[in-house]
Structure 1
């Protein structure tokens, strides 16, 4: 089983979370993002998380990543959750801040936990 197949299988549960969203043009894969229960084992109280954003290199700089993240947030809010979390490295947290995410915490290893609320 490939890593991608394993990740897809993890997103095939009975409830709305976890789930994966895929961007495509016709039959061409552009990117994906997941909505999962937890992306930071030391913070189980934070749930759900937008995670595993990927856009194919040749399709970057077209706002596909931003659109995927926004759709994941909308999906999470549609399940009734009031806050969604995201884990980003030091070189990526400003990207998410431009998309409306707020830093709520920095982890011991230098990662940033960001959040979006329904009223943002």
Structure 2
């Protein structure tokens, strides 16, 4: 099951946008599916930031993870961010999410980034198991979130 850049499989964009809208619309009040699709067009331009990676099974998307310059309005000084890690329910607990996160970490490290940031309302333990450290707990857009950071060493964030 390969991980591919969304720019190589742009026909998956509407599917990913629908997943992300269903999962995280509450964090982006006022943004509808059409707006999300339009915003995600930036992932098709090439280059690492921003980009989205798609985990495929038999040519169909089953998960995604993105790297973006900023994912929290009130933390613009921190960059880049891991974002939009999503796995369809029937593929959860099979290592898909871990592989996607490690892939993004490896891409960021290879590009020379020393840190990667994320926020999560409910998956801090998952990320801690992958080496992420909590750096803040706060309210963001009406939800309690954990803000986390991964220290990247060039070449050490191996994919698996």
**TM, length-normalised to structure 2:** 0.68
The alpha-carbon distance between structure 1 residues 68 and 105, as it changes in their structure 2 partners (threshold 3 A), is same
Query: Which of 92, 101, 115 does residue 83 from structure 1 map onto?
Result: 115
Query: Is the partner of 2:94 in helix, strand or coil?
Result: coil
Within the alignment, does 1:113 sit opposite 2:147 as a pair? yes
Cα deviation, 1:40-71, whole Å, max 9, x if unaligned, reads 01000110000001111111110100110110
Within the alignment, does 1:9 sit opposite 2:77 as a pair? no
Query: Which of 92, 104, 123 does residue 72 from structure 1 map onto?
Result: 104
The alpha-carbon distance between structure 1 residues 7 and 25, as it changes in their structure 2 partners (threshold 3 A), is farther
Higher helix share: 2
Gaps of at least 5 residues in structure 1 are none
Gaps of at least 5 residues in structure 2 are 1-13, 18-36
**TM, length-normalised to structure 1:** 0.88
> When the two structures are aligned, how many residues end up with a matched partner?
119
Q: Shift of the alpha carbon at 1:94? A: 1.3
